[in-house]
Structure 1
Amino acid sequence: MPFARMLLDTGRGALIGTVEIIPGVSGGTVALIVGVYETLIDSAGHLARGVAATVADGVRGRGLARARRELSAVRWSVVLPVGIGMIVAVLVASAVLAPLIEAEPVASRALFAGLILASLVVPIRMVGGRWRPREYGVAALGAIAGLALTSLPQVDPLEPPLPVVALAAAFAVCALVVPGVSGSFVLLAVGMYAPTLAAVNDRDLAYLGVFVLGAMIGLGLFVSVLQWLLTHRRRVVLAAMTGLMIGSLRALWPWQEGGSIQAPGPDLVPALLLVALGAAVVGGVLLAESIVLKRAARRWDAGALDPADNG
């Protein structure tokens, strides 16, 4: 695997991992933006089925042939660098970014709102063709669901028992699968955001181990369902994702107190400039991605691109 490609995928994972600690911002959204979403979802499905086959077939004495087939289908050349980037970014961002977000909540939410607004073009474009009334209706329902999710009252932090940690992680990890849903906000809504962030900063291995186990179980259960939906109901699913992203913008309204929406303050103009900056950043990323894809397509037409290097 080319070293430059490995660095690029590690950087993509770092971006996904960084936003995963920000309530209201979806790691799945960033995965869409940086172009690794479908690769990660497909590989996660093969990985989950491979692990399940290893356990089931191993216990029954059927050998590991089925597990090896599933595991060999995982795009390890992408998954490993992305995973490493995510882990490193979560560790660094938890210690550095979280205090900054707490100190400048209005500015950070305004910037993130701009990121999400501009990234709406990604699932809209992925739907392909002209939207039909059904897609508009599904997107509206998705927006209502996203708005309802981000309107949940925030509860006080608590010290959850480990089984509850695993259960919450199983649901929160769906944020990596469904753009528009923030895993950190799910944790915040159930009072587990602060304990989880503290566990990362304190290197609480017992807590983190249970959290990762719960996340793996949740991902394994959910990813296969999403894969089927993307294969058989692609337009509807992407329309729903668009709606979820729109609804999630409620959590990123810059002026709020304890989750309650407030009127714009005297810092309206700087906030609007930060929204524009966030949108410009995503626009630049999408433009760069478009240029790269066009060049890759030309190389493909010329017969100079190996299929394994595409995506």
Structure 2
Amino acid sequence: MSRSTGSYLLDALRGGLMGTAEVVPGVSGGTVALVTGMYDRLILSAGHTVSSLKLLVTDVPKGRGTQRAAQEFRHVDLRFLLAVMAGMIVAALTAAKLVVPLVENHPQRTFAFFFGLVLASLWVPYSESGRRWSPREWIIAALVAVAAFVLSGLPPQEIDDPNPLLVVGIAAVAICALVLPGVSGSFVLLATGIYTVTFNALNDRDLGYIALFGFGAILGLSCFVKLLQWVLEHHHRITMVIMTGLLAGSLRALWPWQPWGSDSRELQAPSNDIPITVALMVAGWLVVVAIIVIERRTSAAHLDNPTGTAIEQPNADSTHS
């Protein structure tokens, strides 16, 4: 297998992990992108794609041609983006069938695994920020964590027949959560009452509802991704500080001991099934640690040999001049 083929398969796998994460309330696809080391690359490519499409819409009708759109599109890592999107779509459709029933039937154990996963993920934005925060940055992260903690404690709603405009609006917000670590798109759907109807539409292939939701998602993404691209390019450190706070606060939604099956979001002390629940927390934590180690070693190897060619070993018989 060539290095490029393996790289695209790995990107598709990363996209698959993002798609799987997004169908679980409380787990963010952006978190997965951050942990697997493709967050900046994904946001920048998506941002340039949005800019290119906007230029096509605005320039061509005015007779300006497609030169500016083409120039913007050259900054897009298209193969990477397509691999990630393909993995996301396939995994989301599969997870809607497999993961959602698992969450519904075994919420405590399932959320224990994701709690450990997100807990270990805190290291990623913290390390990306350069660490050694100032007191001001610690305060900002704490305030963001408190806000995320409060929002993730909102009780779930349920709407059986949502208004089309409501679906578009919620989709626009939920898709922003897709690319924002610590904020779960599925949790947005759950809190606004259209989680069940949305995933039923996916499972039943309700093309009308899916198209409506997709329209809202495109609207939200076209606005939010450009903003996120700008802050990553101009304020990377403080963005990572904020994302660390978001992840920390979002742990509240994943605490395993909650009154599952009710509308209450009350946090409870560990009281039942403790050994297996804790073991699953540790398993989730270890998965992220393994991903981080593999990603760092892969990045280091690529920096040492960026062309992917074999590195010649010195000949034992050779002499120095």
Q: TM-score range by the shorter chain?
A: over 0.9
Partner of 2:33: 31
Partner of 1:279: 285
| Equivalent of 2:91 in 83, 89, 92 | 89
In the alignment, structure 2 segments of 5+ residues that lack a partner are: 310-321
Partner of 2:43: 41
Report if the CA contact (8 A) 1:169-1:215 is conserved. Answer: yes
Partner of 1:289: 295
Report if the CA contact (8 A) 1:28-1:177 is conserved. Answer: yes
Aligned-partner Cα distance in 2 for 1:159–1:78: 37
| Equivalent of 2:128 in 118, 126, 129 | 126
Shift of 1:129: 4.1
Report if the CA contact (8 A) 2:40-2:232 is conserved. Answer: no
Aligned-partner Cα distance in 2 for 1:137–1:160: 39
Aligned-partner Cα distance in 1 for 2:56–2:189: 31
Aligned-partner Cα distance in 1 for 2:162–2:60: 34
Name the larger-Rg structure. Answer: 2
Report if the CA contact (8 A) 1:147-1:248 is conserved. Answer: yes
Aligned-partner Cα distance in 1 for 2:163–2:62: 33
Shift of 1:271: 0.9
Letter in 2 for 1:56: T
Aligned-partner Cα distance in 1 for 2:38–2:237: 19
Aligned-partner Cα distance in 1 for 2:112–2:214: 31
Mapping of residues 56-67 of structure 1, within 5 Å = 56-67=58-69
**Number of aligned positions between the proteins:** 303
Shift of 1:71: 2.0
Mapping of residues 153-302 of structure 1, within 5 Å = 153-257=155-259, 258=263, 259-300=265-306
Which stretch shows the higher mean deviation, 143-152 or 104-113?
Answer: 143-152
Shift in alpha-carbon separation, 1:129–1:118, aligned structure 2, 3 A: closer
Residue-by-residue CA offset, 1:118-147 (whole Å, 9 max, x unaligned): 011100000014111121011001101111
Secondary structure of 1:23 counterpart: coil
Aligned-partner Cα distance in 2 for 1:227–1:285: 24
Aligned-partner Cα distance in 1 for 2:52–2:209: 25
Aligned-partner Cα distance in 2 for 1:159–1:254: 30
Shift of 1:183: 0.6
Aligned-partner Cα distance in 2 for 1:8–1:145: 34
In the alignment, structure 1 segments of 5+ residues that lack a partner are: 307-311
